[in-house]
Structure 1
Amino acid sequence: MSEPTHETPRTEPAARLRPVLDRIVSYKPGGAVRSPDGRSYPLASNESPYEPPPAVVKAIGEAALGVHRYPDDAATELIAEISRHLGVAEDAVAVGCGSVGICQMLLEAVAEPGAEVMYAWRSFEAYPLLTALSGATSVQIPLRDGVHDLAAMADALTERTRLVFVCNPNNPTGTAVHRAELAAFLDRVPADCLVVLDEAYREYVRDERVPDGLTLLAGRPNVLVLRTFSKAYGLAGLRVGYAVGDPALIAGVRKAHLPFSVNGVALAAALAALGSEAELMARVETTVQERGRVRTALIEQGYTVPAGEANFLWLELGDRSAAFAAACAAAGVAVRAFADDGVRVSIGSPTENDAFLTAAAAFTVRHG
């Protein structure tokens, strides 16, 4: 008797999948690269280059002992601490699986076939993917001089516009809009259209003209602020984000939450990270200083680099973007090329940044 086989025959899918999947390009995270001599510098994904503080590591270890139980789906302790930390009501906060997870929750709450979701382009790569999956239609408004063109976005609003993403600072360009223009834009948005201020990189902002989105919420129940623990708080691998907004809006958003999508280890780590904020914000300041140093060096090398307010920089390389990324990869430096638009490079440790600057200088010698 022959041995049974468990190989799955390669056939066309038997189940009917949604046609929209044929038009979606899957999200591609920054991959690891390595130089011929084994060096690897991960500067493609806007991660913190630092390991978690001891208190966070301790909290992770203790929480790991409880992974046989479901986590607190209401994130009670974390929401209470975020509430205290920001000075907002607990019912004004929702927690999700990273800020991108909350983006998905928001789209599930407001989007449907025939609805429009507006955002600048180029901006966060997840917006078009999540919008397409929601059944809504993307409306992309080109950046103007590398910055959100809020006037054009306001002009493009229609009765079908259900949600507008404003990524501030913008990913991948790092540019940010200022208070006056943002407030003027918000005043033009209809009251029944949700505006999401995506502030994943808020902690790295040093330009005082760039507003804290929380200060724009009063009197605007259709505005919501997104934040994350992935960047400044160094928990990219655990996926915790949160939203702050009008309690009625937050109550609706919570209904779209996937049960238990924020695990217990992540909840404990985020809580400990808030308790270690002084140490973490000192690291953020180091990154900000490195951001300035790297940008100055790149400009001296002849690159066009807009002033950035995040933990990365944007190189306007056009059709040289892929070649630049390949040259960096050959030196063991992972960066992100975006078609023929440009290259985003994360700010890492001084050693990682020096490796990148060396690769960038070598590229100018070879390619001008």
Structure 2
Amino acid sequence: MDFEKLARPFLKNVQPYKAGKPIEAAQRERRTKEGFIKLASNENPYPPQEDIQKAVIDMLSQVNRYPESGSFELVMELAKKHSVSPEEVFVGNGSNEIIDLLVRAFAFPDENLVYPWPSFVVYRLVSTICGLESTEVPCMDNKVDLDGIRWAVNDKTKLVFICNPNNPTSTYVTRQEFSDFLESLPEEILVVMDEAYYEYVTAEDYPQTLEMRKNRSSLVTLRTFSKVHSLAGIRIGYAVADPQVVEILHKVRQPFNVNRLAQAAALAALKCQKEIQPIVDQTIKERESLRKAILKIGWECPPSQTNFLYIIPKGFSGDVCEPLLEKGIIARNMAQFGGEADSFRLTVGTPEENRKFLEALDAVLAARS
């Protein structure tokens, strides 16, 4: 039987998401137990704080019971943290789920989405799965082109997604740029600001969208526990939005969409801000040091406001990620996600991991000279 004929026709255009290569996969492929350094998926290189680990372990004895649907306690704490009402907070199984739910809940079959490109690939994936038209607006000088997005919006546009800072280009749009952009859009268009890397931002003119929501009810802010809180493997994120938007999201989410362990981990993470901040500071310092080293060899690397760098090799033919992998470094080629040819993304690791990356890169370049 040809099951392709039974599936929805537009699924033929969907390519399954290809994640950054796990360390275990690299070991299997090379039939070795030797260690690899993974700098491919914008993860925090450090494990969760001990209090977070303890909260997860303590919750294990209760996983025979379904979690509280709606993540009540976590919603209350997030509302307190951001000085909003609980009715304005929605918790999801990672911000990915919330992106999916927003599209399913608000976009009609004949409507479209607009987002920058390259950017977070889930925008493209979700719109294609839902059979919707989407407009991908090319970045300009590795930065989200808000003017281009505005011109791409038409009377069929329902949602605009903006990743700020942008993944994979690592750059950001300013407060004034975003404010002008919002004023130029019809109020009925949902503008979703995806702020997965918010805690790594140092730019003083970065837009504070939680405050900007006061002047635009159709602005949705997404945040995640995956990055700065080291919870990428447990899947939990949240949205701050108008109460009606939150109510609609609850109508389309799955029952018990956020498991007990994730809720416990996130609650504990909210109490670990003082312990996490030194790691953030170190990541920012290492980010700048790595970028200087990349620029020194003559490669392009935009200023980053994230925990990763977007690197465009110059004078190097081919995918540098392959020879780096041979030397134990897992980086992420970005050409497949709309980046420039042979561009790659590099997560900022620990100081030791970053040192080993630079040593591996020196060896790769020496072998080519």
Same topology, TM > 0.5: yes
Q: How does 1:322-337 map to 2 (within 5 A)?
A: 323-337=319-333
Are residues 1:112 and 2:102 paired? Answer: no
Structure 2: which 5+ residue stretches go unaligned?
Answer: 336-340
Instruction: Give the Cα separation in 2 of the matches to 1:68 and 1:320.
Output: 54
Residue in 2 that maps onto 1:66? 62
Could you tell me which amino acid in structure 2 is paired with residue 343 of structure 1?
F
2:213 to 207, 214, 217: 217
Residue in 2 that maps onto 1:178? 174
Residue in 2 that maps onto 1:8? none
C-alpha deviation, 1:255, in angstroms: 1.6
Q: Cα–Cα, structure 1 residues 241 and 318, in superposed 2: closer, same or farther, change >3 Å?
A: farther
User: Which segment is superposed worse, 354-363 or 205-214?
Assistant: 354-363
Give the match's secondary structure for 1:323. coil
Structure 1: which 5+ residue stretches go unaligned?
Answer: 1-10
2:36–2:328 contact (8 Å) kept in structure 1: yes
Give the match's secondary structure for 1:94. strand
Q: How does 1:15-164 map to 2 (within 5 A)?
A: 16-31=6-21, 32=23, 33=26, 38-164=34-160
1:318–1:342 contact (8 Å) kept in structure 2: no
2:170–2:306 contact (8 Å) kept in structure 1: yes
How many pairs are equivalent?
Answer: 358
CA deviations 1:227-257 (Å, max 9, x no partner) are: 0000001100110000001112221222221
User: Which segment is superposed worse, 119-128 or 281-290?
Assistant: 281-290
1:321–1:342 contact (8 Å) kept in structure 2: no
Runs of 4+ in 1 over 4 A off after TM superposition: 34-37, 318-322
CA deviations 1:108-142 (Å, max 9, x no partner) are: 11123211111000000111111111221110000
Residue in 2 that maps onto 1:356? 357
Could you tell me which amino acid in structure 1 is paired with residue 101 of structure 2?
M
1:194–1:224 contact (8 Å) kept in structure 2: yes
User: Which segment is superposed worse, 267-276 or 240-249?
Assistant: 240-249
C-alpha deviation, 1:216, in angstroms: 1.4
2:320–2:342 contact (8 Å) kept in structure 1: no
Q: Cα–Cα, structure 1 residues 14 and 211, in superposed 2: closer, same or farther, change >3 Å?
A: closer
2:260 to 246, 260, 264: 264
Are residues 1:312 and 2:325 paired? Answer: no
Instruction: Give the Cα separation in 2 of the matches to 1:132 and 1:321.
Output: 33
User: Which segment is superposed worse, 48-57 or 34-43?
Assistant: 34-43
Instruction: Give the Cα separation in 1 of the matches to 2:311 and 2:34.
Output: 26
Residue in 2 that maps onto 1:303? 299
CA deviations 1:331-353 (Å, max 9, x no partner) are: 11111102226100101111111
TM-score normalised by structure 1 residue count: 0.93
Could you tell me which amino acid in structure 1 is paired with residue 353 of structure 2?
E
1:112–1:135 contact (8 Å) kept in structure 2: no
2:298–2:314 contact (8 Å) kept in structure 1: no
Could you tell me which amino acid in structure 2 is paired with residue 159 of structure 1?
D
Q: Percent identity?
A: 37
Q: Cα–Cα, structure 1 residues 202 and 166, in superposed 2: closer, same or farther, change >3 Å?
A: same
2:2 to 8, 12, 26: 12
C-alpha deviation, 1:181, in angstroms: 0.6
Q: How does 1:185-224 map to 2 (within 5 A)?
A: 185-224=181-220
Q: Cα–Cα, structure 1 residues 318 and 297, in superposed 2: closer, same or farther, change >3 Å?
A: closer
Instruction: Give the Cα separation in 2 of the matches to 1:254 and 1:367.
Output: 55
Are residues 1:239 and 2:235 paired? Answer: yes
Q: Cα–Cα, structure 1 residues 328 and 341, in superposed 2: closer, same or farther, change >3 Å?
A: closer
C-alpha deviation, 1:14, in angstroms: 8.2
Could you tell me which amino acid in structure 2 is paired with residue 22 of structure 1?
K
